A and B are shown apart, each in its own frame.
With several copies, the nearest count.
Chain A
């Protein structure tokens, strides 16, 4: 299984990621997920989310998940980018692409990775409220 993981402060370049996609002739499905910061977190209006991350552990836990997925044998490629630091409302914090022979596998693998990530990958959110002063 091809894998690409990036935990980065940079904005997620979806167009660039798309342009770099490769699929072999046996593959029939690509499923993407783009998770975007919403203007509301619970009942509060926010302008951004500050993501913090224990990076070495996050990378290790992501690769453990990828290892498990690889053992299923149905996914050709998985690319995942998680942004950390301040992510403004309307910007993507997470982007995942799964390439597989069939769509069922691609959809289920993509959702599985997100579910498992939310269980084991050490990343945390801190909402930046509308009332707060911006960080320079």
Chain B
């Protein structure tokens, strides 16, 4: 299953790109996807405690089971206003 991942705000600078695609097996959780990601983007791994995760337009946590068609977003704490 190929899951597109978008990095927002300075996470894109830390990753060196704004988007990537991660291949995970069926039934994989976000936790699993993050493990893959953090291997490729160690600078993001350092931010894991202050990382927000969304699938589509909803917040999700590590236990969320990914489905085909899901789009994942990773970003730092929001700062509107």
Contacts and interface: CB of A to CB of B under 8 A. Distances in A.
Interface of A: 35, 51-52, 54, 56-61, 82, 93-94, 103, 114, 117-126
Contacts, number: 56
Interface string B7-27: 011100000000000000000
Contact of A120 (B56, B76, B78): B78
A61 B57 CA distance: 8
A57 B57 contact: yes
A110 to B, nearest CB: 12
A82 B9 contact: no
Given A52-B9, A54-B8, A117 B81 contact: yes
Q: Report, as a range, how many residues of chain B touch the other chain.
A: 10 to 19
B78 A93 contact: no
5 contacts: A54-B54, A57-B56, A118-B80, A121-B80, A124-B75
B62 to A, nearest CB: 18
A18 B79 CA distance: 26
B8 A118 contact: no
B9 A118 contact: no
Contacts of A122: 8, 52, 54, 73, 75, 78
A57 B73 contact: yes
B59 interface: yes
